Each structure stands twice: as structure tokens, then as C-alpha cells.
Amino acid sequence: MKRWDQRPFEVRNLFNPAFCGLILFRALQGYEEEDADGMPFSLALLVLPLCLHKDSRQVIADNPRSYLVKTIEKNPQLLVGFADRVKDMLPFGLEAFGMLMERGCFVVSQDGRLRTMPNRVRKSITGTNESVSCQRVARIVGKEFARIADRVTIYTTFGIRP
């Protein structure tokens, strides 16, 4: 990972740890709406590639009431390059988790699940249309991951070997 001041302007703006952390936090909150135990760390790594990729985000936003597995089945184009996006986004996700952890926004349980801490992030979703869209889709993704409740199924659905 390059030093912050050596990164391109676009990378610093789109993948800054605060924004990526907010997206991850919204997904964790969505997961907790269905399963209070929290999201497994391994699933959290799939959130940014789904929410920041415009095509994926639009498909998920257009089908908020549909099951995620069914949405992926109907839109197989979302799987093209997904594994590479996950790998490419990993450093930014880890950076965002570091910032969230430093700020006390979540805790890690004994079994490796991530649970949000109350009153650490503003509840209202604000910002540009695109950032609001990312946050809303993150919540949907978190809820859907909790509904599926099986990491192997989720990873297999996206064509990734756990």
C-alpha cells in the first residue's frame, strides 16, 4: 500500500478510510438487524466490492426486496471480475477497519464476529447521491448476508473459494 500522499487524487477521494469505514459500518448495522451476534469478518471483505462498484450497487438497489442469491442468479454479469475486485479492495477494507477500530466503532467477539458500538456513527444517512446510495446498498447487503447465514453459500454464489 502506498503512502497516503503518494496515492492518486481519485484513489484518495474514493477509497479514503473514513468513507470505506462508513460503508462497512452500515453493512455491519444491516447484518445486526437480522443477527445480533454480528457479521463474520470474512463476509465483511465482500461489502466494499459490492457497494462501491456502480453496476453491482445499482442492481442491488433496484432489487432491495429480492433475495441476494436470486439477484445474482438473474444478473450473472455482476460476477465478472468480482474475485479480482475483492482482492484489489482488500487493502482499502483493512485500512477502513483499522480506522473504525481506532475510533471504537465496533468490537470483535470471541468467535470473530464484528459488532457495532452504539452512538459512534451518525444514524442519518447524508451526503451526495452516490454516497447515500453506497450506504443504503451496504445496509441491504448486510441484511442479505445475515439472511443467508452461511459463509460458504455466499462465497460460492459470488464464485469465490473460501
Angle at 94 between CA 91 and CA 99, to 5 degrees: 125
Task: Identify the three-state secondary structure at position 128.
Answer: coil
Beta strands at 113-116 and 106-108: parallel, antiparallel or unpaired: antiparallel
CA-to-CA distance for 51 and 48, rounded, in angstroms?
A: 5
In a domain, 51, yes or no: yes
* Residue 162: per-residue pLDDT: 62
Q: pTM of the entire structure?
A: 0.93
In a domain, 123, yes or no: yes
CA distances to 11, 123, 155 from 46, rounded to whole Å, are 19, 23, 9
In a domain, 116, yes or no: yes
* Residue 161: per-residue pLDDT: 75
In a domain, 68, yes or no: yes
In a domain, 49, yes or no: yes
Which segments in the chain show pLDDT lower than 70? 162
* Residue 13: per-residue pLDDT: 78
* Residue 10: per-residue pLDDT: 82
In a domain, 162, yes or no: no
Q: Give the count of domains, the chain.
A: 1
| Sequence-ordered list of residues with C-beta below 8 angstroms from that of 16, at least 6 positions apart, any chain | none
Task: Show the domain range for 102.
Answer: 4-157
In a domain, 138, yes or no: yes
In a domain, 82, yes or no: yes
